[in-house]
A and B are shown apart, each in its own frame.
Chain A
Amino acid sequence: MDIVADYTAESRELLEQAEGDLLSLERMGENADPDIIHRLFRTIHSIKGGAAFLGFHNINELAHALESLLSQMRNHEISSTREVMDLLLEGTDRVRHMIHNIHDSNTENLGSLPKRILTLVGSEDTPAQTPAPTQAMTQPPVQSPAQSTQPITPPANQGASTLMQIAGLSVSREALTQVNSRHQNIYLLTYDLTHLPGGETPAGLTAKLSREGVILSGGLNLEGRRLEDGVPQGALPAQVLVASWLLPDFMEVLSRLPSENIQRVGQLEDLLNQPAQSVAQSPAPIVPPAVQPVAPPVAPPSAAPAGYIQGPDQTEAHIRADFSAEGGHIAAATSQENATPTAIDAATHMMAKAEASDTIRINITVIDKLMRLAAELVLLRNQFIRWADHTDPVSRHLSHGLDIVTSEIQEGVMATRMQPVGNLLGKFPRVVRDLSRSLGKEIEIEMLGREVEMDKALVDALNGPMTHLVRNACDHGLETPQERVRAGKPPVGRLLLHAFHEGGQINLVIKDDGRGIDTAAVRRRALERGLKTESDLNDMSEEEIHSLIFLPGFSTAQRVTDVSGRGVGMDVVRTTVNELGGHVEIHSVQGKGSTITLKLPLTLAIIPCLIVKSGEQRYAVPQVNVEELVAVGIDAKSQNIEFAGDREVYRLRNRLLPIVRLNDVLAQPETFSPETRRQIMERHRLEDGTTLGGHVVVMKFGTKRLGMMVDRIQGMEEIVVKPVHPALKHLPCYSGATVMGDGQVALILDVPGVAKHTGVSAHMDDLVDQAQAQSSQKDQRENVLLFANGPQEQFAMPLSLIKRVERIERKDIERVGEREFITIDGVSTQIIRLDQYLNVSPPVGEAEELFLILPKLIRRSLGVLATQVIDIEDASLKLNVDSHLEDGLMGSSILRGRMTLFLDIHRMADRSQASLQYYSGIQAPTNTAVAPGRKVLVVEDSAFFRNIVRDLLTQNGLEVETAGDGQDALRAMDKNRYDLIVSDLQMPVMNGFDLARNVRARKAEVPMIALSSLDSDRDIQAAKEAGFNHYHVKLDKKALLGLVKQVLEAAHPEDFSGAQASSAAAATAPQAWM
């Protein structure tokens, strides 16, 4: 066990949190939140304690200075001025630096920093000098065998005279005087650092001890390291001097040490009353013989540590049992001692919570190995399933089981690699703060979607590009306050970092409301640098011109600053993102701001691919690049493929799609010249001017599209990506290889590479029907799949939400209880029959062949059953979203002259998870208008319940807005006025109780209903005290509606007295399409 590594890892985490706290503290200015100061104090304190424990005296010294400053802030003796904040930030930065280079930390020259901090704290605390600097310079921290104990001294003020020797450890008198007088008992604890009891970590231990006392000093006992004693290298005894209020028995429980390792060395009061010098010179009265503290009397000192530490397991087990049994007592004792709960208790409580964390640290190489093995397992599973005899029930059962377990293992292992994007974004508030200072700008940063998870490798790799983009936005994008005011904008610039999932990808958006990209300047620069010719530029859309900033050697900055503008950044951003399998999109409006979107795959190791065939060879096309599949008159002459210039094009819903044939791509090693393209085109042109059709994969890359005709389409498969062999890296058309289920290798096609190889470039867009493209931008249009289930309704789903449509046979459907499943790609997929979830007609008759629409972005495998796939239609997404919309529908629209229902596939997925019966129970419409037009805010963290409540209330004529937690709700209340708030109690970020308190603190009179599954009298009482007017147990719909009605009636009697006919009629109108 590497204790130092543990300490540094934990300290880094603590510091990360501290930085966020510091920044929010700074934002608060004078009205600093005491909780945050406390948290900071505890953080720094823990770091200090650990440093003292391990002998990192520089960290200890600096942390101590910071702690003193924070302590004064806590006591309101000093306010968080800019100077204070700067010093705190500088100090924590320095501590972080030392933590990063922990083994050099003791030789680090802190300069005047601690002194400057302490000067701020007040003159009486200023240290005359840092302790023993010369000695520190020459001594490595832990390993030094030179001394038996290496004292760690908190900075002393008046030189050596105040240093006291207690049990062989030096303690500054000043530190003693600061100890709370209730910590009367001074203990010397001896730990073996290589075997901390109960797998405790040093930082955990420090935190624990600090909770019940104060760590005065610590040191390593290295005497037992002599070889002639024959002691194995094992034990590494460390001594800690603690002042605590705990009595010895409790100290035993807390420290988990056997009693012989706990020595009570005196009373705080006695020590303080002793003249400093006499203590320093004659430690004898308090200190037991120097070698004894560790050892039971008989054993030689060196042997002792090993002895007791590997001692009887029984003892340890016993202690552990005691600890859990006594834990309650300790807590009880604490609260008795300190009857009024103070902020310290809150902080302590928080620490305790943090400590009971249910996470462990795992080396990434272990995970990588698991990842590889899981990938191999998937392949073995695929091979096995292929080989297994599916007519044999036992074999089928086994392969089904293997299938499920393998998928889950794979998912589980993948999940271990996932990290919240917050880890990547966390540093940016600080970056932006520092930048805005140095640039003289005011910038407010907002971050959304910190919880979105992505592969650790991606998080690591994106650090550079994201930093560059943020810096760029601050430097070039956002203007100075004066410029902004002149442009009629608020002086504070806004920067938004937003992470979210879309289309099986992760989107990272960097958006600013700055000056935007100056198209003319980009054009000028491109000409100047000879990157593009005048005629090139004239052919380019604005967006394409903006994309030029990603070319190597391009920089539009008027001046080169140290922040950005070295002209090496943006192309590196794009290259990095491309290497990660993603791409960059830019959208900018001059004067309004820029939005840069990075689109990235969820993970790098396994990607879903479409497998296509050219002759006997299989090729994988990453699903992110596949837009749709089109069958163009298979093996027959096609009228739809036209010849334009030197290539074939296909008119796909009024957009011309360039077509290449995979066979031609593979047969031609050189990049296509116009001449090759013409030759190929002529080869395929038949006498009558038509050409043979085939399967076309519509592939997209960036904003462009390319149709690739292939011999066969085999299907989708999740594949494990293996890198291209380095000797073949120069081939543009491949991005990797993979082993297929039958053990053969298949190549992964690189779509942008194929496009480049075949010469499909920006110019192709000239062929696009511009008018069509523009009109579709104006009024949000999208391609939707039209399909039918029963005879009466036509359904639609946006293509962007569909993974693909699978043809299935009725006989393959298996029933499991209430639900139906079918195996697709070896994965058990739940079937959703629309007539079971919506009030729509069931299919007529029993067709053998059915369609299963597999949606994207749904974690669970499920598919919507359709009896007929009608067509793909370009439809406006302006839907009719009447308030009486059924749960599971997005809206309706008239397509091809028929009322068409747009499915809300995510709702359907949510609903399919809950039992069907349950739903049929609550689905009974309760259409009684309550108080039409009144505005209700529904606060609930579970999307599931939120939607139920929302739908229930909207169905009854109320206007409903929703919020995901208390803070969200408060923000909504800043913008709108509500007539009623219905809130859950248990929520992340800000719970219902706090929300109510906040609402009431704002003197808002709005009635509030608590909606919770907690139903003890105590909770009800607590909710009332927090400010809720009513309490309602979740999911009794009728009663909730009654209560809402009653509350609103009391508040607005006028709604109920008379005319409510019109809106009530709308609310109760029969649902038109049924």
Chain B
Amino acid sequence: MANALQTTEGKKSLSIRQTGSLLASGRPVIQFCTFWLANRLFGVDILDVREINQEQKATPVFHAPPEVRGYVNIRGQVLLALDLRVMLGFPPNQDATNTRLVVFKPEVGESFGVVVDRVGDIVEATAEQIEEREVLGEEFQISQGKELILGECKLTDKLVILLNPSKFLSYLDKE
């Protein structure tokens, strides 16, 4: 289960952290790794994801901000697990049966991952389907974490809220 998903990296693809914008990456088709949080579907650029792990028991770090779930050990490496629900202002998750840890590549930020309710499919979107805009507020009932959100992606059957993982760690400092 350790490597449920290993991303493949196209040689010429640019990820969001290189361009600051999904659309500016110049990729005709962008793949997203999607996951569920409080019944909303979110997506991150698949090029930013290192692997997805079954969530392990995290060791709490007292005195750390509430967004920090704790330290987890992934094959001898100590990672910092963040709680994306807390970061986006959702209530705590009651059902932990399908939770996963989405681990990001070192280029995104030093050894960290986020805990999500459950993972979704990998979806593909063209530039036309992506809209980079503020989606905070009424529409999705997301009360905070504005700077984490890039925009949305409209697929035929569903809507994906796009996140920028390279902002996740710096979000901890804002308090």
Contacts and interface: CB of A to CB of B under 8 A. Distances in A.
Given A725-B71, A733-B63, 20 more contacts: A617-B60, A666-B62, A666-B63, A669-B62, A725-B111, A726-B110, A726-B169, A727-B68, A727-B80, A727-B112, A728-B61, A728-B80, A731-B61, A733-B62, A739-B73, A739-B76, A744-B59, A745-B59, A745-B78, A747-B59
Given A669-B62, A744-B59, A747-B61, A727 B172 contact: yes
B150 interface: no
A734 interface: yes
Contacts of B57: 744
Nearest to A720: B76
Interface in B62-104: 62-64, 68, 70-73, 76, 78, 80
A379 interface: yes
A486 to B, nearest CB: 56
B62 A667 contact: yes
B68 A744 contact: no
B54 to A, nearest CB: 13
Contacts of A733: 62-63
Contacts of B61: 728, 731, 734, 747
Contacts of A731: 61, 63-64
A726 B169 CA distance: 9
Given A376-B76, A725-B71, A746 B111 contact: no
A379 B75 CA distance: 11
A739 B59 CA distance: 10
Contacts of A738: 78
A671 to B, nearest CB: 10
Interface of B: 57-64, 68, 70-73, 76, 78, 80, 110-112, 169, 172-173
A29 interface: no
Contacts of A667: 62
A737 interface: yes
A323 to B, nearest CB: 48
A746 B59 contact: yes
Contact of A747 (B71, B73, B110, B173): B71
Nearest to B173: A727
B80 A725 contact: yes
B68 A728 contact: yes
B112 A722 contact: no
A791 interface: no
A737 B78 contact: yes
A743 interface: yes
Given A722-B78, A745-B71, A728 B59 contact: no
Contacts of B59: 617, 737, 744-747
A743 B63 contact: no
| Interface-central residue, B59, B70, B173, by most chain A CB under 10 Å | B59
Interface residues of A, number: 22
Contacts of A747: 59, 61, 71
A734 B60 CA distance: 12
B168 to A, nearest CB: 9
B62 A737 contact: no
5 contacts: A722-B78, A725-B110, A725-B111, A733-B63, A747-B59
Nearest to A736: B78
A743 B68 contact: no
Nearest to B72: A745
A669 B172 CA distance: 15
Closest 8 CB pairs of A and B: A745-B71, A666-B62, A745-B59, A669-B63, A725-B80, A722-B78, A739-B73, A731-B63
A733 B173 CA distance: 18
A738 B172 CA distance: 22
Contacts of B110: 725-727
A376 B76 CA distance: 7
Nearest to A744: B59
Nearest to B59: A745
B37 to A, nearest CB: 21
B140 to A, nearest CB: 26
A47 B172 CA distance: 56
Nearest to B76: A376
A727 B173 CA distance: 8
Interface string A731-755: 1011001110001111100000000
A666 B64 CA distance: 10
B88 to A, nearest CB: 18
Nearest to A733: B63
B111 A743 contact: no
Contacts of B173: 727
Contacts of B62: 666-667, 669, 733
Nearest to A722: B78
A174 to B, nearest CB: 61
A666 B60 CA distance: 10
A725 B59 CA distance: 13
Nearest to B168: A727
A472 B91 CA distance: 59
Interface in A368-423: 376, 379
A738 B59 CA distance: 11
B64 A379 contact: no
Contacts of B76: 376, 379, 739
- B60, B78, B172 — which one has the most chain A CB atoms within 10 A of its CB? B78
A233 to B, nearest CB: 28
Nearest to B75: A376
A731 B61 CA distance: 10
Contacts of B78: 722, 725, 737-739, 745
Contacts of B73: 739, 743-745
A726 to B, nearest CB: 6
A1022 to B, nearest CB: 58
Contacts of B112: 725, 727
A739 B57 CA distance: 13
Greatest chain A CB density within 10 A among B57, B76, B172 is at B76
Interface string A484-524: 00000000000000000000000000000000000000000
A299 B72 CA distance: 65
Interface in A836-872: none
With most chain A CB atoms within 10 A of its CB, the pick from B68, B70, B71, B173 is B71
Given A739-B78, A744-B73, A727 B63 contact: no
B169 A737 contact: no
